[in-house]
Every structure is written in C-alpha cells, then in structure tokens.
Amino acid sequence: MDQNARVSANIKLVAEAAGVSRATVSRVMNGRSTVAPELAERVLAAASALDYAPSQVARSLALGRTSTIALIVPDLSNPMFQDVLRGLSQAAGEDGHRLLIAESNEHVEDEEVLALEARRRCDGVVLASPRLPTADLERLAPQLAPLVLINRKLPGVPSLSVDYAAGIQDLVAHLLSLGHRRIVYLAGPPASTSNRDRLDALLRLSQEGREFELIQVACGAMFENGHAVAGGVAASGATAAVAYNDMVAFGALSGLHELGVSVPGQISITGFDDIPFARFTTPPLTSAAVPRNTLGRRAWEQLRSQLDGHDGGGSADFRPRLLVRGSTGRTAEG
Amino acid sequence: MDQNARVSANIKLVAEAAGVSRATVSRVMNGRSTVAPELAERVLAAASALDYAPSQVARSLALGRTSTIALIVPDLSNPMFQDVLRGLSQAAGEDGHRLLIAESNEHVEDEEVLALEARRRCDGVVLASPRLPTADLERLAPQLAPLVLINRKLPGVPSLSVDYAAGIQDLVAHLLSLGHRRIVYLAGPPASTSNRDRLDALLRLSQEGREFELIQVACGAMFENGHAVAGGVAASGATAAVAYNDMVAFGALSGLHELGVSVPGQISITGFDDIPFARFTTPPLTSAAVPRNTLGRRAWEQLRSQLDGHDGGGSADFRPRLLVRGSTGRTAEG
DNA sequence: CCGGATCGAGTAACCGGTTTCTAGCAGTCC
DNA sequence: GGACTGCTAGAAACCGGTTACTCGATCCGG
C-alpha cells in the first residue's frame, strides 16, 4: 500500500512532518548555525520517526565532495597491495573517508579507463600501476589529480616508493659479509619496474665493487617459478641466491629441499618483502621488510593534504629493513 | 586565469559549445534515442575538446542508482575476507559495478553505523559480521537491503555460508580412519560463530559415535596462539589436533617442532581454510579448502539478482573440500 | 519610543545530470 | 491542400540535498 514507508524518507517529508522548511532540516542534520531548540527537537523527532538519513549521493553533489577515495591496483592477491589497502583503508576511515577499490587484474589496457571511471566517483586516487607505460601515465595523471602514485615516480606528482635498490644493497652487503662471491638473481617479471630496480642495483653493485659475480636466471613472481628454477640454481655454482620476492624464495627453498640441497648449508637464500609467512618457513627467510601498511597510511596523509589544498608535499622513499634469519649463512670456505 | 579549463567541464558548457540543449548532450552521451548524426558529432567534438566526462555523482542522483556495492568486513588481514573481496570485486567489476569497502577492525560497536553509512552511498551490501549480536543484525538487515550475508543466517535474508560442520566431519572421519581416538581441538575465539560451528560439530561427532575422545584447549585465531599451546597439546595425550584454522595449525606445527615432537609421527595436525601457504609448510598441512573466491562471486550474483528485482534467491552452503597432506598420518598403534 | 544590529527561519538558486512533456517540422495519405 | 502521423530537439521538472540571500521579529542603546 504505502510504498513510501519502505522507500527511505527524504528531506522534504521530514520537513513537512516537522512543519519546517527543508533548509531547517538540513541545518539540524548538520548541526549548523543556530536553530531554536524546540524546532530542532521537532525535526529530530520527525527524522527518527521516519527513519530518515540524508542521502549521501545528494550531499556529495551539493557539497562537491564525496568523502571517498579510490585505490587502483593491478592485483589484489599480491600481499603488497593487500597491506597498502589495509593501511589506506584504516587511515582514510579514521578521517571519515570511504575507500573505493578497483582491480585491473593485470589488464594494463583497461587501467586507464578504470582509473578515470573510479576518479569520477570520488575525490582522489591512489594508483599502483607498475606496468602502465610512462607516456600513458603522464597523460593520465593530471586527469586523476589529486593523485598519489605507489612505486612510480612522475615529475610533479606525489609518490611513495619502496627503495628497492637500497634493500638490495643491504641484502648484498649481508651476503658479502658472509663470504659469498658468486650470487644468482632469480629475476621477476621482465616488464615489472620493481624487477628493473632490483636488477639495476645488482648490476651496479657487481660492477662497482667487483666483489662478486652476478648470474641471472629468468624466473617470475610466484612460488611455482621459484620452485621450477631450483635445479638451475643448484647447478649454477652460486653460493647464494637473491630472489625477486619472498614467494619466489619460498619456491626455491622448497625445490632445493626436494633436491637435497641444504639451506643455508650449501646455498643461502634471500627473499624480498617480508610477507607474513617469511618468519614461519624452515629455515625462516632472510628478507627485506617493506613497510607496506605504513605506505598505505602515508598515501592517505598525502592525499588528505592535497584535498585540504596544501599542494602535494612531494614524494617519499621507504627504505626496506633488512631482516636476517636462518636462510642465509656463512659460505663453506668463509 | 581560466580556472574553468582546469575544473572538469559540465554538461552545460558542452551544450553551449555544441549549440544544443543539455538534454541533447545527455542523450548523446548515453547513446539514447535518436539524435541527428550531425548534432551528435558536434556534441562529441565539443565533449572531447572540453575533456568532458559526465559526473557520476550527478548521474547517481538522477538515476537513483550508483552502480556501486559495499563490502563490510571485520578484518582485511584475514585471508578469508581477502579472497571474498577479490571474488566480489572481480564479479561485480565484470558487470560494471564498483566496490566500496569498509573495515570495522573488529570494533563490533561501530559496525552498525559503518554499514548504514556505507549503504547510503551504494546500491547494496555484502556483510560479513561474525561477531554482531543476532538481535542487532535483525534490526539492521532491513535497512541494508539489498543485502547478502556471509557466514551468518537470518530468516528472509540471502546468505552464503561455509558449512564448517561438514568440513569438520570430513576432517574427523579422515583422522578416525587413521586410527586416532583421542583428539584435541584448538579452539578459536569464543565469540566467533564459526568457532561455535566447529565445536558443535566436534561435540556431536564425539558423542554420537563414541568413537573418539574430545579434548578442548582454549587457543585463538593467530599463529602465536597455536604456538603458545603446543606444550599443552603435546601433554594432552592426544594423537591428533584439530586446529581452529590454518594459522593456528601453523603455530602449533612450529611449536611442536621446537619441542621435538614429530608431526605426523607423534601427533597429526589438521588446519582449516587451506590458505595459500598450507601447501608449503613442512610437513604440508592437511586442511579443508573453503572456496572463498567463489563465495565472493556468488555474493555478487545474489546481490545482482536482488538489484534486478528478482527476489533474493535464497541461501547457499558451501561444503569445504578435504585436502589430505603430510601433516596427518596413521597412529603408532594404528 | 524609535532606529539599527542581531538572530532565526524561510525562499529560492544551485550542484550536474536525466527524462517527461511538448512544440515544431517534415512526410504521408486521402 | 488539409489533417494526421512520426520524429527530433528543446523547455522544464526532477533527483535530494546545501546555502546565499532575504525578511520579519526581537533586543538593544540612545
């Protein structure tokens, strides 16, 4: 019969029920200016009687602000993005903002329209897009502002990056101190910028100091990839393996275990990321801890300062923290 | 100078630039009805010249539909919710819907307002709220409709649940077949419904068949909790431990390893959930695989059918799949 | 006791779209 | 040639709020 009872009440109904104007209802709902106590009470009574709650969509339109931000990531199964998501969600939530999330499933070609679509529903964007060509990103960035980039740098756009080179440097220094002089790199996806960063750092280190020999093995980013190259690692004659990330390191660990190669007895292994399970493998994995959650929180702070009109306060690099665990040890000769 | 160049153009500007009415611009942008080709072309040219894209907020208000749904979870670090999130995000994304996510961080008292807040910004809600009292949930549900519940049942509300009892039954049957007659349960958080489900199933099984003796140990949901009770497990005289979930099982595994208790030689251990790393522990963990991603996808299908006006097609139970791995074995006597 | 400042609440414009209704025009049929 | 039909595109109402502006009433000092 009375469908209106089911459909959520609007401001007009409340105004009529309370015998006031819509403006007054709005003022009461927002605690604005001064409304006579008696009127305010009537409005609140009517609102609660009608189960009224202001439409956020209408507010957003009128205010020109949605109190929502978007996170765009290539892949939600990646622990990196999961933690950035959490940090971002929590930090933004504490400041009364909601989080819209969009996943491109690694379809780079969709990322641009996905990002623009998302941007039109909210006030700002945090974009993690490791694969998007720089030229596309440059064209896209101004349309997405306010924008914070994760692990990408672009002039004039605030970004938060992990200093992979520094992390690699720490890992290598650690391995060198243990006597390793022949190190194999289990490379990540060739198209990935972060793989590029790691590789460049390794090449530079091996050439500058001439303290160790670098071997490269094409691998990937998954457990299975690391598992598959275990034989090659064992045959390479290297005494230490630097894996693209923890997952690959786990795979290698498992593969070497099956081959009867002892870690760290015969080969030392390092991961990268310090994902939650790195502490729980046998042996526990030496890794470089990326402050992922912090990254998410800082992304929100960056975005908030832009939303507040304070021009983007620049970029930041996060140096991973070296975590020495059981998977690395002294060489036999060392 | 010309701030309008920076601020995104609106429909009025485009209409003026193209020399048509706003209605016509709207029709062209939506590919609606028939507009003279020559006009349509002019509109599109003006739109692209001005970098115009319709405001989604305004469209949402006019259409009464946001093409956005919300997922509300207690804790994003829980792999269960991460995978539901992924499945939901992907399925909804394929149908052109965006996903808003809200995390309560286990603050049950905030969950209600969080859910209502989120609901007001979108068209429907997927709610995972294991701790919210049933009375509160009953009051909340009608205000959230269209609604899909995860792992909670409520008359009249579509819900998708994991059949924990069936999973436990399979695990116990497996252990019994291996000769175990004294089984310790590492209990999860007392307030958790899913812990209740597991415990009830265990109690029923132990009393019905009288085939085994059940011991309970208060534990928790985290690695550390499992680790902490390892001593108690070893001292209990049980030959098998059923852990609340995989994390707890990992903890127990690790703790027992440190105590020199062999798994499965002296004690068999089962987990629950089959989180990604269950395959990679030593020994690999026998577990019950919950189809989390599918759950997310099905949640979207449920929600979509409600949004399309087809009344909620009821609920579904997902039976976990038993995965026998190395952490369970025959008893010494068996 | 009067004029101006203060305050509270209503009117109406606005946010940026969509859509109903209608006017105008061309084409068709008798 | 006039009436009827069919389309296209514009005018205007609407979605549900917020807020600048306005107006009347009260309060105050002179």
User: Could you read off the pLDDT of A236-257 as tens digits, one per residue?
Assistant: 999 999 999 999 999 999 899 8
Give the model confidence (pLDDT) of B148-193 as tens digits: 999 988 998 999 999 999 999 999 999 999 999 999 999 999 987 8
- The reported pLDDT for the residue numbered B333 is 62
**Mean pLDDT, chain A, as a whole number?**
91
Estimate to the nearest angstrom the gap between the alpha carbon of B209 and the chain centroid: 33
Give the model confidence (pLDDT) of A130-180 as tens digits: 888 899 999 999 999 899 999 988 998 999 999 999 999 999 999 999 999
Q: Is A262 on the interface with B (CB under 8 A)?
A: no
Sheet holding A182-187: strands in order across? Answer: A213-218, A182-187, A240-243, A268-270
Indicate the pLDDT class of residue B313, thresholds 50, 70 and 90.
low
- The reported pLDDT for the residue numbered A313 is 65
Q: Where are the alpha helices (DSSP H) in B210-291?
A: 223-228, 230-235, 246-259
Rg of chain B over CA atoms, in angstroms? 27
As a whole number, mean pLDDT of residues B5-15 equals 78
User: Which amino acid, one-letter code, is at A198?
Assistant: R
Q: Is B107 on the interface with A (CB under 8 A)?
A: no
Architecture of domain B164-290: 3-Layer(aba) Sandwich (3.40)
Cβ-count burial of A53 within 10 angstroms (0-12 exposed, 13-18 middle, 19+ buried)?
middle
Q: Is the CB of B18 under 7 A from strand C?
A: no
- Considering only residues 251-290 of protein chain A, which place a Cβ less than 7 A from any atom of strand C? none
Range of weakest confidence among B167-176, B276-285, B320-329: B276-285
Q: Is A100 on the interface with B (CB under 8 A)?
A: yes
Give the whole-angstrom CA distance, residue B324 versus residue B287.
7
Q: Which of B228, B239, B327 is nearest to B287 (CA)?
A: B327
Listed in sequence order, the residues at least 6 apart from B283 whose beta carbon sits closer than 8 Å to its beta carbon are B263, B264, B325, B326, B327
* Percent of chain A topping pLDDT 90: 72
Give the model confidence (pLDDT) of A32-62 as tens digits: 767 888 888 889 999 999 999 999 999 999 9
Compute the Cα dihedral for A149, A151, A152, A154 and give only its sign: positive
As a whole number, mean pLDDT of residues A22-34 equals 87
- The full set of domain ranges for chain B reads 3-63, 68-162+292-320, 164-290
Cβ contact A100–B100 (<8 Å): yes
- The reported pLDDT for the residue numbered B5 is 41
Residue for token digits 């009127």?
A: A39
Residues of chain A found within 8 Å of residue B102, distances taken between Cβ atoms? 89, 93, 98-99
- The reported pLDDT for the residue numbered B280 is 84
* Percent of chain B topping pLDDT 90: 72
- The pair of structure tokens assigned to A216 is 């490269």
- The reported pLDDT for the residue numbered A38 is 85
Give the model confidence (pLDDT) of A190-209 as tens digits: 988 889 999 999 999 999 98
Q: Which CATH class is domain A68-162+292-320?
A: alpha beta
Give the whole-angstrom CA distance, residue B5 versus residue A105.
33
Residues in A 266-285 with any Cβ partner in B closer than 8 A: 277, 280-282
The residues with which B279 forms a beta bridge, in sequence order, are: none
Q: Is A86 on the interface with B (CB under 8 A)?
A: yes
Q: How far is CA B121 from CA A1, A57, A59, A269, in A?
A: 27, 6, 10, 48
Give the model confidence (pLDDT) of B27-51 as tens digits: 999 887 677 888 888 899 999 999 9
Assess whether pLDDT exceeds 50 at residue A5: no
Contact B183, B211 (CB under 8 A): no
Q: Which of A192, B225, A118, B173 is nearest to A200 (CA)?
A: A192
Range of weakest confidence among A286-295, B62-71, B93-102, B305-314: B305-314
* Fold of the domain spanning A3-63: 434 Repressor (Amino-terminal Domain) (1.10.260)
Q: Is the CB of A10 under 7 A from strand D?
A: yes
Residues of chain B found within 8 Å of residue A98, distances taken between Cβ atoms? 100, 102, 117-118, 121
Give the model confidence (pLDDT) of B226-263 as tens digits: 999 999 999 999 999 999 999 999 999 989 988 999 99
